[in-house]
Amino acid sequence: MSPTTTSTSRGDALAALAEYPLTGLEKSLPAAAAGLTVAEFLATRPRLSAFRTPLLVLDDGALEHNLARMATWCAERGVDLAPHGKTTMAPALWERQLRAGAWGITVANPAQLRVAIRFGVPRVQLANALVDPAALAELADALGADPELQVHSWADSVDTVAAMNSALGPVHPVRPLTVLVELGAPGGRTGARDLPTARAVASAVSASPYLVLGGVCGYEGALAHDRTPAGLDAVRRYLRELGELHLALRAAGAYPAGEAVVTAGGSAYFDEVTDVLAPLAGPDTRVLLRSGAYLIHDDGFYRGISPLAPANNAGATGGTALHSAMHAWARVVSRPEPGLALLDAGKRDVPYDEGLPEPQLAADQLGAPAHPITGEISAVNDQHAFLRLDPATPLRVGQVVRLGLSHPCTAFDKWQWVPVLGGGPDGSGDPDPDPVVVDLLRTFF
Give the sign of the dihedral formed by CA 17, CA 21, CA 27, CA 29: positive
Identify whether residues 264 and 378 lie together within a single domain.
no
Q: How far apart, in whole angstroms, are the C-alpha atoms of residue 259 and residue 194?
A: 24
The DSSP-derived string for 90-153 is -HHHHHHHHHTT-S-EEESSHHHHHHHHHTT-SEEEEEEE---HHHHHHHHHHHHH-TT-EEEE
Identify whether residues 257 and 188 lie together within a single domain.
yes
pLDDT over 50 at 52, yes or no: yes
pLDDT band at 2 (very low <50, low <70, confident <90, very high): very low
Q: How far apart, in whole angstroms, are the C-alpha atoms of residue 401 and residue 343?
A: 8
pLDDT band at 225 (very low <50, low <70, confident <90, very high): confident
In a domain, 140, yes or no: yes
- The pLDDT of residue 391: 94
When mean pLDDT is compared across 91-95, 221-225, 242-246, 341-345, the lowest value belongs to: 221-225
When mean pLDDT is compared across 152-161, 185-194, 339-348, the lowest value belongs to: 185-194
- The pLDDT of residue 311: 77
Identify whether residues 335 and 268 lie together within a single domain.
no
In Å, how far from its chain's centre is CA 107? Answer: 9
Identify whether residues 288 and 418 lie together within a single domain.
no
Identify whether residues 257 and 131 lie together within a single domain.
yes
- The pLDDT of residue 315: 53
Identify whether residues 278 and 362 lie together within a single domain.
no
Task: Please say which residue of 250, 278, 296 terminates a domain.
Answer: 296
In a domain, 372, yes or no: yes
Three-class DSSP category at 427: coil
pLDDT band at 314 (very low <50, low <70, confident <90, very high): low
Q: How far apart, in whole angstroms, are the C-alpha atoms of residue 98 and residue 86?
A: 15
Q: What percent of the chain has pLDDT over 70?
A: 95
The DSSP letter of residue 256 is P
In a domain, 49, yes or no: no
In a domain, 227, yes or no: yes
CATH number at residue 175: 3.20.20.10
Q: Which residues contact 386 (CB under 8 A, 6 or more apart)?
A: 340, 342, 377, 378, 379, 380
Q: Say if residues 213 and 250 touch (Cβ distance below 8 Å).
A: no
pLDDT tens profile 257-290: 788 999 998 899 999 999 999 999 999 999 999 9
In a domain, 141, yes or no: yes
In a domain, 347, yes or no: yes
The CA distances from residue 117 to 124, 150, 276, 384, 444, in Å, are 8, 10, 32, 37, 13
Q: How far apart, in whole angstroms, are the C-alpha atoms of residue 187 and residue 238?
A: 12
pLDDT tens profile 332-365: 999 999 999 999 999 999 999 999 999 999 999 9
Identify whether residues 240 and 366 lie together within a single domain.
no
- Tally DSSP H helices, then E strands, for the chain: 11, 18
Task: Please say which residue of 247, 274, 296 terminates a domain.
Answer: 296
- The pLDDT of residue 71: 96
The DSSP letter of residue 67 is H
Count CB neighbours of 416 within 10 A.
Answer: 15
pLDDT over 90 at 430, yes or no: no
In a domain, 302, yes or no: no
Identify whether residues 168 and 225 lie together within a single domain.
yes
Q: How far apart, in whole angstroms, are the C-alpha atoms of residue 414 and residue 247?
A: 42
State the Cα torsion 367-406-91-63 to the nearest 10°: 60
In a domain, 41, yes or no: no
- Domain hosting residue 330, numbered range: 326-442
**Mean pLDDT for the stretch of residues 252-259:** 90
pTM of the model: 0.93
pLDDT over 80 at 429, yes or no: no
Q: Say if residues 329 and 433 touch (Cβ distance below 8 Å).
A: no
Identify whether residues 339 and 292 lie together within a single domain.
no
Identify whether residues 87 and 132 lie together within a single domain.
yes
CATH number at residue 342: 2.40.37.20
**Mean pLDDT for the stretch of residues 164-174:** 96
- The pLDDT of residue 1: 39
Identify whether residues 198 and 343 lie together within a single domain.
no
pLDDT over 70 at 403, yes or no: yes
Q: Say if residues 293 and 409 touch (Cβ distance below 8 Å).
A: yes
- The pLDDT of residue 320: 87
Count of the separate structural domains present in the chain: 2
pLDDT over 60 at 428, yes or no: no
Identify whether residues 333 and 283 lie together within a single domain.
no
The CA distances from residue 307 to 109, 227, 319, 346, in Å, are 27, 9, 11, 30
Task: Please say which residue of 296, 315, 339 terminates a domain.
Answer: 296
Three-class DSSP category at 62: helix
